[in-house]
Structure 1
């Protein structure tokens, strides 16, 4: 009897404990879900700034037709038009250098503020450019393109770095593709505006300026990166920012295990950085965890640029015409923009976190190789009279856009903030953006000359060959970062060197 009475309280206590555990589990799931939405919202607000960069990249595609029209009294010649199209990519490295400098100095949020201010000025210059004095108009739009180039270079890494630093490993792959998605959406927006206002590029520039004012306002609602705050000694602000991002209640600010563990990881990264502060840049670059990912990502960007991905963005309407598209070239540019946005969304939400970075990149390279090879064949003079040649060319152009977006166009930007240690992430990301956009300038500026020298089928064949070599590079050398923390990725490159030394 006594035993029975003793057992009942124990069973009751055990039941209460089980119920408490279930409540904690449900609360944890609810907290994790809320945190995911906060991470997505913060990343979207950061990447809204990048929309203007996409609009700037695609702007020549909708303006060159009007600016080069024979009956236009303010007509640009071929040389002036090529500078208008490519100047922004020549200046992008300057933005990349500035990004490397200021990203770690003034923080991720204020870098985004600066980007929006420059974008507003650049679009304003083009909107208010002279309509009567050609020389004045030309230099005003060139200055606008110069500033948009600085803006594009500046914006290529801050939003992606911010997203990588606030994201959990589960979401990091998806969030870091938001930069590429924002560029794709920005390009689609400018193509659509060009389709609606085909003869009024100034109005398009004015609408773009208004949009940059809107994205500037969004930054007010973003917390600063906790990682950057800790690096500046602002520990309390970092803890509050991280608690907000992880959906942790204020009364758990100092008791949450999740929060304390993440704060400790940030401290460890900062301590590692502080140990290197007295080292020269050259000595840092000689470390395997720095120079190996730097070489890999720059090579990936080289294959991205010289396989024609950005050429199609800038010369979309002309490219569609050269490819022998069977539909209106301005409508084709809109379809190109739509294909790119859809492919980026599919990559971000259904592919990247499930299959990683390497398999989609291999698929992308194969698709680009085949699409460009078929375009080269069908743009040849002997193929012009083949059945459905125009529609096959249109299909291959859209297939190239779609498959390039699944890998070569987007994944280098997604991997940019993943591959480098926190202590040098700003510098190395800025250096990489600098090199990437300089290569982009070469590819875009040389495209008209290549067309004259090689013909459109020769250019398409060259892009096919570069895509093939890029696919081989990805298969042999690109590391897989899916599901790894940023520290694990850093250790991966250290371990590769250690394993090689042990084998020797």
Structure 2
């Protein structure tokens, strides 16, 4: 009997342990689901901001043809058209520079809310414009908003996301950005440009309102010595998991304290010279320049004009522009999914090589193009392939990497500077694009796109580290090492093994 009783007791203990384990497992799954949901809410609000910024970016593509129309009330020539297309990017660097300051002074969240104000004002000026100057002013003010939004959105997502989902979350704003372009293209193909401008005020208004119920970045809160607020934000972002929130907070406080103690106290400009800052800054800025010359945004600003030059009048240019926006939107979603399974380097190289080959083929086809039926459809199809290849890596990766590569204590400032330099160069190239197109032809433009894409692929192969699944601290430590080329350091002592 004693042996039988002992066996029954052991069985009872085993079943209780099994029930406890199952309960813990169920509880952990519940917390994990809540954590993902909480991070999705913040990401969703950033996505709305990104979509609202995508609309003025694509707006020139539908505005210029309507203004050039013989029935247009404010007719324009190519010179005024180039200013309308490019002036959006002229003020974007100023907005990016302001975001670098605001992100550190008032926080990531409030900066995103503030950015909605100039965007709404800009759209209203355009909607009620009675002159070209009013349109230019509206575009200028809206461009400032785009600069204010870009870096804070990427930084906020990068700082609130867990490593295993950070790649997806930091890339999906580009899907919403592409959706904003698609939306404005679609609206512009159906409605008058004034109505499109007026209706575009809704998205930024909704986004700014949503941020009132969402937490600030824990990283920024710790930097401002608001540890209790940071803890509450982390508990909410981790689905109520107090243990994980406490561990993350301790790591965060320790790292930021070590960077901000009197012995390590330096101005932001002096920190720029440190390897952990200057190396990712160089990588991202060269990547951005190569991205611009690969045509990523030029095809957005001048979509209808470019397609009208290659389709030979065989297809509706507005429809073709909408199709390019659809392809861009779809492939940003595909890229966001791929980032959960594929490394950043793999995606960058695939995109660069794909963009280079497709642009080379399209440029060569246009150079030898004969006036035959159906050639316009084939050229337009080639453009869609080019857009797909370019979008899947080159369009989304600079923003993803901005949220990953820069150190926590200077991320806001350096992120704003990165977008400032990017948008200034984009403004210059967008302004002179019509002159370049007339000088070398559309086929020559795509050859330039191709050459830049191949150069970018070589550069990224040599320099870009693999950051998939790595914590922000591990990435920062990698750049602090004595390394320059990833392909050399990867075989030695890097803390970021190849994914």
- After TM superposition, the score normalised by the length of structure 1 is 0.92
Instruction: Confirm or deny: 8 A CA contact 1:93 1:437 kept in the other structure.
Output: yes
Does residue 184 of structure 2 align to residue 190 of structure 1? yes
Residue 451 (structure 1) aligned to one of 397, 412, 437:
437
- CA distance in structure 2 between the aligned counterparts of 1:278 and 1:422, rounded to whole angstroms: 14
Give the aligned partner of residue 68 of structure 2. 68
Does residue 360 of structure 2 align to residue 373 of structure 1? yes
1:446 partner SS: helix
- CA distance in structure 1 between the aligned counterparts of 2:431 and 2:374, rounded to whole angstroms: 32
Residue 305 of structure 1 and its aligned partner are, at CA, apart by 0.4
Instruction: Confirm or deny: 8 A CA contact 2:186 2:322 kept in the other structure.
Output: yes
- CA distance in structure 1 between the aligned counterparts of 2:261 and 2:301, rounded to whole angstroms: 44
Q: Deviations over 1:416-450 (max 9, x none)?
A: 11000110000110010011111111221111000
- CA distance in structure 2 between the aligned counterparts of 1:282 and 1:30, rounded to whole angstroms: 44
- CA distance in structure 2 between the aligned counterparts of 1:221 and 1:189, rounded to whole angstroms: 27
CA shift in 2, pair 1:496/1:173, >3 Å = farther
Instruction: Confirm or deny: 8 A CA contact 2:151 2:415 kept in the other structure.
Output: yes
Residue 310 of structure 1 and its aligned partner are, at CA, apart by 0.6
The runs of 5 or more residues in structure 1 that have no matched partner are 131-136, 250-255
- CA distance in structure 2 between the aligned counterparts of 1:292 and 1:89, rounded to whole angstroms: 26
CA shift in 2, pair 1:431/1:390, >3 Å = same
CA shift in 2, pair 1:388/1:367, >3 Å = farther
Alignment of 1:36-185 (within 5 A): 36-130=36-130, 137-185=131-179
Residue 89 of structure 1 and its aligned partner are, at CA, apart by 0.8
Give the aligned partner of residue 421 of structure 2. 435
Instruction: Confirm or deny: 8 A CA contact 2:259 2:265 kept in the other structure.
Output: no
Q: Deviations over 1:209-258 (max 9, x none)?
A: 13322222222232211222222222222222211111117xxxxxx321
- CA distance in structure 1 between the aligned counterparts of 2:379 and 2:24, rounded to whole angstroms: 58
Residue 362 of structure 1 and its aligned partner are, at CA, apart by 0.9
Residue 10 of structure 1 and its aligned partner are, at CA, apart by 4.1
Give the aligned partner of residue 496 of structure 2. none
2:98 partner SS: helix
- CA distance in structure 2 between the aligned counterparts of 1:338 and 1:496, rounded to whole angstroms: 44
Of 223-232 and 418-427, the range deviating more from structure 2: 223-232
1:308 partner SS: coil
- CA distance in structure 2 between the aligned counterparts of 1:101 and 1:462, rounded to whole angstroms: 36
2:468 partner SS: coil
Residue 70 of structure 1 and its aligned partner are, at CA, apart by 4.1
- CA distance in structure 2 between the aligned counterparts of 1:403 and 1:275, rounded to whole angstroms: 46
Residue 386 of structure 1 and its aligned partner are, at CA, apart by 5.5
- CA distance in structure 1 between the aligned counterparts of 2:9 and 2:381, rounded to whole angstroms: 73
Instruction: Confirm or deny: 8 A CA contact 2:51 2:203 kept in the other structure.
Output: no
Instruction: Confirm or deny: 8 A CA contact 2:306 2:442 kept in the other structure.
Output: no
Give the aligned partner of residue 308 of structure 1. 295
Give the aligned partner of residue 327 of structure 1. 315
- CA distance in structure 2 between the aligned counterparts of 1:473 and 1:284, rounded to whole angstroms: 25
Alignment of 1:189-338 (within 5 A): 189-197=183-191, 200-248=192-240, 256-275=242-261, 278-324=265-311, 326-338=314-326
- CA distance in structure 1 between the aligned counterparts of 2:436 and 2:174, rounded to whole angstroms: 27
- CA distance in structure 2 between the aligned counterparts of 1:213 and 1:38, rounded to whole angstroms: 21
Does residue 462 of structure 2 align to residue 479 of structure 1? no
- After TM superposition, the score normalised by the length of structure 2 is 0.93
Alignment of 1:330-349 (within 5 A): 330-349=318-337
Instruction: Confirm or deny: 8 A CA contact 2:309 2:442 kept in the other structure.
Output: yes
Instruction: Confirm or deny: 8 A CA contact 1:51 1:186 kept in the other structure.
Output: yes
2:297 partner SS: helix
Residue 4 of structure 1 and its aligned partner are, at CA, apart by 4.6
The runs of 5 or more residues in structure 2 that have no matched partner are 494-499
- CA distance in structure 1 between the aligned counterparts of 2:462 and 2:445, rounded to whole angstroms: 26
- CA distance in structure 2 between the aligned counterparts of 1:23 and 1:390, rounded to whole angstroms: 63
- CA distance in structure 2 between the aligned counterparts of 1:283 and 1:215, rounded to whole angstroms: 36
Instruction: Confirm or deny: 8 A CA contact 2:268 2:413 kept in the other structure.
Output: no
Alignment of 1:385-400 (within 5 A): 385=371, 388-400=374-386
- CA distance in structure 2 between the aligned counterparts of 1:190 and 1:78, rounded to whole angstroms: 22
2:225 partner SS: coil
Of 7-16 and 369-378, the range deviating more from structure 2: 7-16
Of 390-399 and 338-347, the range deviating more from structure 2: 390-399
Alignment of 1:380-419 (within 5 A): 380=367, 382-385=368-371, 388-419=374-405
Give the aligned partner of residue 252 of structure 1. none
- CA distance in structure 1 between the aligned counterparts of 2:71 and 2:42, rounded to whole angstroms: 48
- CA distance in structure 2 between the aligned counterparts of 1:385 and 1:289, rounded to whole angstroms: 55
Paired residues, number: 486
Q: Deviations over 1:63-86 (max 9, x none)?
A: 001222345452223222111110
Instruction: Confirm or deny: 8 A CA contact 2:179 2:325 kept in the other structure.
Output: yes
Of 320-329 and 286-295, the range deviating more from structure 2: 320-329
Instruction: Confirm or deny: 8 A CA contact 1:87 1:142 kept in the other structure.
Output: yes
